[in-house]
Structure 1
Amino acid sequence: MGENTTAARLMALARRVPFTLALAGILILVGLLSSGLWRPFTESELFPAVAYGLPALEEGRWWTPVTGTFFVTTPWVYLAGVPAFAGIAFLELRRGSRVAAAYFAVGQLFSVLGAVVFLWLAALTPWPWAQEQASALDVGPSGGVFACLAGALALLPSPWRLRAWTVFIAALSVALVYYGSIADLEHALAVGLILAVDRSLRPQRVSVREQRLIAVVVLCALGAIEILGYIAPMTGPFGYSAATSGSWIDVAVNTVVVLIVATALRRGRRWAWVVVLVYSALNLLLVLLLIGILSLSGVIGLEQDLDADVTSVLASSTLWIVASVYFVLVRGAFRARPRAALGENPPPSVTDAKALLRASGGGTLSWMTTWEGMSYARFGRGIVAYQRRSGVALALADPLGPPEARRDTVRAFIDGAEMAGLAPCFFSAGEQTRAAVPSGWRSIVVADDTVVDLPGLQFTGKAWGAVRTSLNRAQREGMTFRLSRLTDETWGVRQQLRAISESWVGDKGLPEMGFTLGTLHEATDPEVRLALAVSPDGDVDGFLSWLPVYGESGIRGWTLDLMRRRDGGFGPVMEYLIGASAQQFSAEGAEVMSLSGAPLAHEYPADAGAIAALQTRMAELLEPVYGFASLHRFKQKFHPRYETMYLLYRDEADLTRIGPALTRAFLPHATLRQFAAAGVDLVRQER
Structure 2
Amino acid sequence: MTDAVPRSRHPFLSALARIPATLALIAALLAIGVIWGGLWSPFAENPLFESVAYGLPALAEGRWWTPVTGTFFVDHPIVYPFVIASFAGLAFLEHRRGSVVALAYFGIGQLFAIFASALFLWLAAMLPWPWAQVEATMLDVGPSGGTMAGIAAAVGLLASPWRVRAWLIVLGFSFVTLFFWGSLADLEHAFAVLLVLFADRSLRVQRTTVREQRLIAFVVVLVILAVELLTLLVPTDGPFGHTDAADGSFLDVAIDVIVIAGLATGLRRGRRWAWIWTIVLATINVLTGVLLVTLAQIIGPSSLSAQVGDYNVALAQSAMWLLLLIYLVWVRRAFQARRKSTVGVSPAPSIDDVKAALRAYGGGTLSWMTTWDGNDYARTEAGGIIAYQRRAGVAIALADPLGPEASRARSVAEFIASAEHAGLIPCFFSSSQATRDAVPAGWRSIVVADDTIVDLAGLEFTGKRWNAVRTSMNRAGREEMSFRMTRLADEPWGIRQQLRAISEMWVGDKGLPEMGFTLGTLDQAEDPEVRMALAVSPSGDVDGFLSWLPVYAGDGKVRGWTLDLMRRRDGGFGPVMEFLIGSSARHFSDEGAEILSLSGAPLAHEYPPDAGAIAALSDWLAGMLEPVYGFQSLHRFKEKFHPRYETMYLLFRDESDLTRIGAGLTRAFLPDATLRQFAGAGLELVRGSGD
**Bin of the TM-score, shorter chain as denominator length:** over 0.9
Match of 1:671 in 2: 674
| Residue 572 (str. 1) matches residue 575 (str. 2) | yes
TM-score, structure 2 as length reference: 0.97
Higher mean C-alpha displacement, 324-333 vs 169-178:
324-333
Q: 2:357 matched to 1:350?
A: no
Match of 1:126 in 2: 128
What percentage of residue pairs aligned between the two structures are identical? 63
Conserved? CA contact 1:390–1:657, under 8 Å: yes
User: Which residue number in structure 1 is paired with residue 340 of structure 2?
Assistant: 339
Tell me the secondary structure at the aligned position of residue 625 of structure 1. Answer: helix
1:469 aligns with: 471
| Match of residue 638 from structure 1 | 641
Alignment partner of 1:650 is 2:660: no
Contact 1:204 1:330 in 2 (8 A): no
Q: 1:544 to 1:261 in 2, by over 3 A?
A: same
Q: State the aligned residue count.
A: 683
Cα distance in 2, alignment partners of residues 155 and 345 from structure 1:
41
Mapped partners of 1:5, 1:374: distance in 2: 57
Distance in 2, matches of 1:72 and 1:54, equals: 18
Tell me how far 1:641 sits from its aligned partner. Answer: 0.5
CA offsets 1:566-612 (integer angstroms, 9 cap, x no match): 11111110000000000010000000000000000001123322222
Q: Secondary structure at the match of 1:22?
A: helix
- Please list, as runs of the form range in 1=range in 2, the aligned pairs for 1:518-533 lying within 5 A after superposition: 518-533=520-535
**Residue 7 of structure 1: how far off its partner (Å):** 6.3
Structure 2, gaps ≥5 residues long? 1-5
Q: Is the 8 A contact 2:242 2:310 kept in 1?
A: no
Q: Which SS does the other structure have where 1:235 is aligned?
A: strand
CA distance in 1, matches of 2:449, 2:523: 24
**Aligned with 2:452: secondary structure?**
strand
Q: Partner residue of 1:330?
A: 331
CA distance in 2, matches of 1:495, 1:218: 60
Aligned counterpart for 1:581 among listed residues 579, 584, 589: 584
Q: Which moved more, 1:201-210 or 1:104-113?
A: 201-210
Q: How does 1:104-503 map to 2 (within 5 A)?
A: 104-248=106-250, 250-306=252-308, 308-380=309-381, 381-503=383-505
SS at match of 2:563: strand
Distance apart, 1:259 and its partner CA: 1.2
Determine the C-alpha separation between the residues in 2 that align with 1:604 and 1:309: 63
Q: What amino acid maps onto 2:483 in structure 1?
A: F
2:10 counterpart SS class: helix
> Contact 1:531–1:545 (CA<8 Å) still a contact in 2?
yes
Give the conservation status (yes or no) of the 8 Å contact 1:68–1:139: yes
Residue by residue over 1:25-73, the C-alpha shift from the partner in whole angstroms, topping out at 9 and shown as x without a partner, is: 0000011111111121101110000000111111111111111010011
Give per-residue Cα distances to partners, 1:101-156, cap 9 Å, x unaligned.
00000000000000000000000111000000000000000000000000000001
Partner of 1:681: 684
Moved more, 98-107 or 68-77: 68-77
Question: Which SS does the other structure have where 2:377 is aligned?
Answer: strand
Could you tell me how far apart the structure 2 residues matched to 1:514 and 1:23 are? 58
SS in 1 for 2:139: coil
Preserved CA contact (<8 Å) 1:246 1:313 = no
3-state SS of paired residue (1:547) = strand
Structure 1 unaligned regions, length at least 5? none
CA contact (8 A) 2:628 2:684 kept: no
In 2: Cα distance, 1:514 partner to 1:10 partner: 46
Distance 1:684 1:142 in 2: 54
Do the aligned partners of 1:246 and 1:309 also contact (CA within 8 Å) in 2? Answer: no
Q: Which residue of 1 aligns with 2:3?
A: none
Query: Hey, what's the Cα distance between the residues in 2 that align with 1:249 and 1:565?
Result: 64
CA–CA distance in structure 2, aligned partners of residues 419 and 8 of structure 1: 48
User: In 2, Cα distance between the equivalents of 1:602 and 1:499?
Assistant: 32
Partner-residue secondary structure (3-state), 1:240 = strand
For 1:241 and 1:503, the matched residues in 2 are separated by 70
Contact 1:486/1:529 (8 A) holds in 2:
yes
User: Matched residues in 2 for 1:374 and 1:383: separation?
Assistant: 12
Look up the SS of the partner of 1:446 in the other structure. Answer: strand
**AA at the equivalent of 2:366:** L
Q: Which residue of 2 aligns with 1:617?
A: 620
Amino acid at match of 2:66: T
TM-score w.r.t. length of structure 1: 0.98
Aligned partners of 1:218, 1:201: CA distance in 2, in Å? 16
Instruction: Report Cα offsets for 1:531-556 as digits up to 9, x if no partner.
Output: 01111111111100000000113111
